[in-house]
Amino acid sequence: MSDQQDSSPSMDVLLRGFWKENPVFVMVLGTCPTLAVTNKVINCFAMGISVMFVLVMSGLLISLLRNFIPKQVRIASFILIIATFVTMVDYAIQSISLDLYDSLGAFIQLIVVNCIILGRAEAYASKNGPVKSMLDAVGMGLGFTFALLCLGVIREALGNGTLMMDTPFEISLFGPNFAPWSIMILPPGGFFVLGLELALFAWLRKRRARRTAAAAQA
Partner 1 sequence: MNTESLTSIFINTLIVNNFVLSMFLGICPFLGVSAKKETALRMGIAVTFVLLVSSICAYGINITLNYLQAPYLILICYIAVIAAAVQLVEMVIKKYSPALFRALGIFLPLITTNCAILGLALFQTQKGYNFLQCLVYALGAGGGFTLALIIMAGMREKLELADVPDIAQGVSITLILAGILSLAFMGFAGLGG
Give, rounded to a whole angstrom, the gap between the first and last alpha carbons of the chain.
Answer: 34
CB-wise, 29 or 62, nearer to partner 1? 29
The residue range among 73-81, 163-171, 173-181, 209-217 that interacts with partner 1, by the rule CB under 8 A, is: 73-81
| Bridging pattern class, strands 171-172 and 162-163 | antiparallel
Can residue 189 be called a binding residue for partner 1 (CB under 8 A)?
A: yes
Of the candidates 117, 115, 140, 5, the residue with the CA atom closest to the CA atom of residue 62: 117
CB-wise, 174 or 191, nearer to partner 1? 191
- Determine which residue in the list 69, 118, 149, 154 makes contact with partner 1, applying CB under 8 A: 118
User: DSSP label at 17?
Assistant: T
Can residue 91 be called a binding residue for partner 1 (CB under 8 A)?
A: yes
Sign of the alpha-carbon dihedral angle for 110, 115, 118, 120: negative
Strand extents, DSSP E, the chain: 162-163, 171-172
Can residue 32 be called a binding residue for partner 1 (CB under 8 A)?
A: yes
- Binding positions for partner 1, rule: CB under 8 A: 28-29, 31-33, 35-36, 76, 79-80, 83-84, 86-87, 90-91, 106, 109-110, 112-115, 118, 183, 186-192, 194-196, 198-200, 202-203, 206
